[in-house]
Structure 1
Amino acid sequence: MNSPSVRALLVRGMLAGLAAGALALLVAYFLGEPKVDAAIAIEEAAAAAEGSGHDHGEEAPVSRTLQATAGLGTGVLLYGVALGGIAALVFCFALGRIGRFSPRTTAALTTLGLYVTVTLVPFFKYPANPPAVGDPETAGRRTALYLLMIALSVLLAAGAVILGRRLAPALGNWNASVAGAVFFIAAVTLSYALLPGIDEIPADFPATLIWQFRLSSLAIQTALWASFGLVFGALAERLLVPAGGSREAGKEAAQPTG
């Protein structure tokens, strides 16, 4: 694939990420923020009951209203743009290398793979918790473990793809794909067992709120990835397949040049 096409796909990926971020922002505001407010209210009530000495009359540097609107919007939209750019580069590498698929199908498969490796695998080991949950002194360790799980997931997924391609001539595409998937699942399971767990949820914190917050966090990520895959697939198809082009033309456009 030539450099102009990569640049054009990168721009389209960032635009698709911006559009996906806008949808994820709506989900975060209407579904996620109420759970954050509920968790903060519980934390403040517990601190007041214990007389922890917090000065509740002192205003925070950034108001909660600003955090839930401008702060949330800026963070989610920038995250969407960055995610879109990275996903577009992954798409450029995958195009024509994972099979003779059209650009739209390749975009869908690439997005699904990134969603599984970057979101689902880390989520099931280190799920998101409300702001009132967790020891502030272990925040750095928890963040490092979460990022390590993402890195391991991506590396294991890449290894599974490579394994599948190596086995394809001997086993056929379907059996090789199954073997790669089994390797990925087994390796992720081993990683789950070896990496330390984190359990800092207070015994008196409502379990229902914990799971509502986690499900809303997963819903935000799902909305982001799904909308990105749909929008970017359409944009990539329009760029790489000429107007009125046939399905075969789309497959020819998907062939790698290097």
Structure 2
Amino acid sequence: MTSLLSLLGRGALAGGAAGVVNGGFSWLLAEPVLDEAVRLEAAREEASGAGSAAAEVFSRSTQHAGLLVAAVLTGAAIGVLFAVVYAVLHRRDPDGAPWRRSLTLAGAGFTGVWLLPFLRYPANPPGVGDPGTIDTRVNAWLAAIGIGVIAVALAWRVHGWLAERRRSAPQRQLTVTAIMLAALAALFALPDNPDAVSAPATLVWDFRVLSAASMGLLWGGLAVGFGLLGFRAARAGAAPSRRGMERSELGPSVV
């Protein structure tokens, strides 16, 4: 049986690899949008007379390199947490159906941790947001993540409960959809973003689309990597068993 340590290593490796893909995508496509947002913010501050109030701590080139490092570390951390949840959910049989389970869990994590909160509070480029409201915005985002995670966990549990009672697929799927819609309605009961979006609409939506694609690559890469590593481990574990069965069928050797 696969150990927890093995699952944690698998999650860290898969998450780190997904972080490389995520970081590379962001560096190639999202960073130019960020550079434009930074230039616009600097021009706005200069026009308002606040341009010399704060010096840049790190250059953009340093920030670009830091992005890649942060993406790998973040991916590895998410991968470890992913492995812990996977181990808890499948503690009775951690080796069964690793590919399907990995894809399913990653889809649930992406939906609860990122997609549902994003629908309520879509990402904005740098320069959008008053520093004085950062606590309000962080608390609202954390509350959105909490609602998303609870909704996904509830949907997962209810779907399993209905499956145990042999309910039809349409009934299970419609029930899950109803739970997701209720969660989305609850999210919109949270307070609105207190800051107006002053950046050009094209820039804002380019940033949001790229953010969505970046996170999709992170979670998708984690799902594929973790699933393939689990599939490989399951095949490697099955090989000695097959060889043992073949020897037993041949009978004892004669010397």
Match of 1:196 among 188, 191, 196: 191
Query: Is the contact made by 1:40 and 1:132 (CA closer than 8 Å) also made in structure 2?
Result: yes
Residue type matched to 1:27 in 2?
F
| Structure 1 segment 147-158 matched on structure 2, within 5 A | 147-158=142-153
Aligned residues: percent identity?
Answer: 32
Compare CA radii of gyration and give the structure with the larger one: 2
1:26 to 24, 27, 42: 24
| Residues 1:216 and 1:66: Cα distance change in structure 2 (over 3 Å) | same
**165-174 vs 44-53, greater mean Cα deviation:** 165-174
Q: How does 1:56-95 map to 2 (within 5 A)?
A: 59-69=55-65, 71-95=66-90
- Call closer, same or farther: CA 1:151–1:78 in 2, change over 3 Å: same
Question: Residue 3 of structure 2: SS of its match in structure 1?
Answer: helix
CA distance in 1 between partners of 2:154 and 2:98 (Å): 23
The list of structure 1 runs, each at least 4 consecutive aligned residues, that deviate by more than 6 angstroms after superposition, is: none
Equivalent pairs, count: 239
* C-alpha distance after superposition, 1:140-193 (max 9, x if no partner): 111111111111111111112222223334452524532441342232122123
**Structure 2 match to 1:207:** 201
2:15/2:78 contact within 8 Å kept: yes
Structure 1 11/193 Cα, relative in aligned 2: closer, same or farther at 3 Å?
same
Instruction: Report the residue type matching 1:224 in the other structure.
Output: L
1:146 alignment counterpart: 141
1:254 match = none
Residue in structure 2 matching 1:45, options 43, 46, 50: 43
* Alignment TM-score, normalising by the size of structure 1: 0.84
- Are the structure 2 counterparts of residues 109 and 173 from structure 1 closer, same or farther at C-alpha, using a change threshold of 3 Å? farther
Question: Pairwise CA RMSD of aligned residues?
Answer: 2.5
* 1:131 and 2:148 aligned: no
* CA spacing shift, 1:220–1:210, aligned 2, 3 Å: same
Alignment of 1:95-244 (within 5 A): 95=90, 102-172=97-167, 174-175=169-170, 177-198=172-193, 200-203=195-198, 205-241=199-235, 242-243=238-239
Q: Partners of 1:170 and 1:77 in 2: how far apart?
A: 42
The whole-number CA distance in structure 1 between the counterparts of 2:171 and 2:231 is 28
Contact (CA 8 Å) 2:133, 2:194: kept in 1 or not? no
Distance 1:9 1:169, change over 3 A: closer
Partners of 2:132 and 2:226 lie apart in 1 by 40
Over 3 Å counting, the alpha-carbon distance change for 1:13 and 1:22 in structure 2 is: same
Structure 2 match to 1:253: none
The answer on whether the counterparts of 1:94 and 1:110 sit within 8 Å (CA) in structure 2 is no
The TM-score with structure 2 as length reference comes to 0.85
* Aligned counterparts of 1:166 and 1:4: Cα–Cα separation in 2: 27
Q: Structure 1 53/91 Cα, relative in aligned 2: closer, same or farther at 3 Å?
A: closer
